[in-house]
A and B are shown apart, each in its own frame.
Chain A
């Protein structure tokens, strides 16, 4: 590609990345309105719950945690998307992920915000939330959750903001003279005076290196600590030492699926086909398949070791999940969530964008179901001489779950209008040297020489308008 077409590529990238910030179609407003309707209904359901108490849910004494806690675990799990992609792959200098790293970081922050609501929704006395501050006991797994999720949220926000600075600067510079004053104020403030000087580049580099390294152990400990609200109890299926690692693997697994889905959607809506290609889908698809195999390993570990011994309660648990009350959910998770994605990635004729998106969708649904299985099957095992009771979420729980999913989508949609959803400067910068044809000298004999040319950076040369 020559310098002209290369510059055109850069222009297209900028245009497509920044288009949502200036143009909004009516379809967007319809989408927002429908999300608001769902959220409104969920708010009504929650106010109904506040008035009548948790009796409006399907939870009872013998199954005292249900949809709220399992959805909490699910959302915190998805939040590992950003860490995996942004941090782990960045540490390994994987260049293909740069075009999707921004979306992944957004998923992390929004998933943490939405997921963090669920313990509050599940509380019997949310009016006493400040007791956690006045009387908090650090010895409690729930307090560990509070510390961990807050720390991770803060770290992810910093880590999201840092690579946004150059893109905010791009937006600031691209604002025409007719842009409203608040937009100019917002982007100028958010860009923090970025002009791309070497000193600034160095400072940004350092800050991102620090965050990228710190956020990995933070993310691992967050989901480990989340698993410990179950693993620190004495109930038979929960009383397992492998929970920490199992949950982290599950989190990364569901996070990758979330990225693939968001990536596919935004690629279509923002016409980013050139920048998010089969490369990204294939790479993430292989990560998905790989994590599915890791999950198979963990599930085998759990079921083989406990099944060989058949300690009291394990027989009931197995019967419950494999042949009984929860069997349809369990087998959907195993087959649809674990084996089918591996198959999709293994067979060449399904290893395309559509196939990978289908795999991701299956995985996301299956991972929610897996959390359901963990929580509900764990509580189903009778502790004393009584019969197990069934659990079915009520309309309140479904409504609030729907509202939370809608809230997640709403926040992402709003962000997509305010922030560039693809990291323009990183994609441009790391595209690498392109070959450029140099015109041949007068003599016909020498063939055209090929000379590497660094990629034009629109931020420095002034933005084409």
Chain B
């Protein structure tokens, strides 16, 4: 049987419980990730376009361009756009960052990229998003062909006649002979002079007196 006092106790408990629930809900809402709240409320949608040449030569420096716009098509200035390309090396695959650039007042980001792999590559433009804007990405194909040695080990100075052969013709001599000639020349001169001295020395042998001849 519920007395009036007990009803008031139940009512106050319910009120307290409801209050607690509201507080809890408010706390949950307050702690919830902003983006969730923002997504549902504040993050503006964006769109990104990419422009890369359809094909390129190995070693060529190409221009990568991307344009980031908001929902109304206005360019978004001053944000970071990365250009990536999937690659595999030694059994590890991933998207590697090949360039990054900041968008200008028109939302255009541009960067130079020296192509170093051949084949059918993919280039992506990626906007990682910000507080206000949603992330966006887009990809485009890039066909690279060519056959060039890009990395040239080039330490030192090339001196003609010593360690640099003319690019016009390759002489038949091996490299070490060509640039070894200074040392060989010095040794040849010195040992020839020794030979001259030995020659003079040999003249002594035959030019002596025979025993019995008088001394002059």
Q: State the A residues within 8 Å of B (CB).
A: 137-138, 144, 147, 151, 154-155, 158, 161-162, 165, 192-200, 203-204, 206-208, 210-211, 214, 218, 460-462
| Chain A residues within an 8 Å CB radius of B204 | 165, 192-194, 200, 203-204, 207
Count of B residues near A, CB < 8 Å?
A: 22
Cβ contacts B185-216/A at 8 Å (1 or 0 each): 00100110110111011011111110000011
Indicate if the CB atoms of A197 and B196 lie closer than 8 Å.
no
Interface check B176, CB cutoff 8 A: yes
| Chain B residues within an 8 Å CB radius of A161 | 201
| Chain B residues within an 8 Å CB radius of A211 | 194, 197
| Chain A residues within an 8 Å CB radius of B176 | 137-138
A200 to B215, CA, bound (A): 13
A192 to B208, CA, bound (A): 9
Indicate if the CB atoms of B200 and A195 lie closer than 8 Å.
no
Q: Is the interface of A mostly helix, strand, loop or mixed?
A: helix
A-B pairs with lowest CB-CB distance, top 9:
A207-B200, A203-B203, A193-B208, A199-B207, A195-B208, A210-B197, A195-B209, A206-B200, A214-B193
| Chain A residues within an 8 Å CB radius of B193 | 210, 214
Indicate if the CB atoms of A197 and B197 lie closer than 8 Å.
no
| Chain B residues within an 8 Å CB radius of A461 | 215
Q: State the B residues within 8 Å of A (CB).
A: 176, 180, 183, 187, 190-191, 193-194, 196-198, 200-201, 203-209, 215-216
Indicate if the CB atoms of A199 and B203 lie closer than 8 Å.
yes
Could you list 14 A-B pairs, sorted by A, with CB under 8 Å? Answer: A147-B183, A151-B187, A155-B194, A158-B194, A158-B197, A193-B205, A195-B208, A197-B207, A199-B203, A203-B201, A203-B204, A204-B204, A208-B197, A210-B193
| Chain A residues within an 8 Å CB radius of B203 | 199-200, 203
A162 to B176, CA, bound (A): 37
| Chain A residues within an 8 Å CB radius of B206 | 193
A208 to B204, CA, bound (A): 12
Known A144-B183, A151-B191, A165-B201; 14 more pairs at CB < 8 Å: A138-B176, A151-B187, A158-B198, A162-B201, A192-B201, A195-B208, A197-B208, A200-B203, A204-B201, A210-B197, A211-B197, A214-B197, A460-B215, A461-B215
A379 to B61, CA, bound (A): 47
Name, among A161, A195, A198, the residue most crowded by chain B CB atoms within 10 Å (CB to CB): A195
A144 to B180, CA, bound (A): 12
| Chain A residues within an 8 Å CB radius of B190 | 151, 155, 214, 218
A231 to B184, CA, bound (A): 22
Output the least CB separation between B202 and chain A (Å). Answer: 8
A214/B194 contact (C-beta < 8 A), A195-B209, A196-B215, A197-B209 known: yes
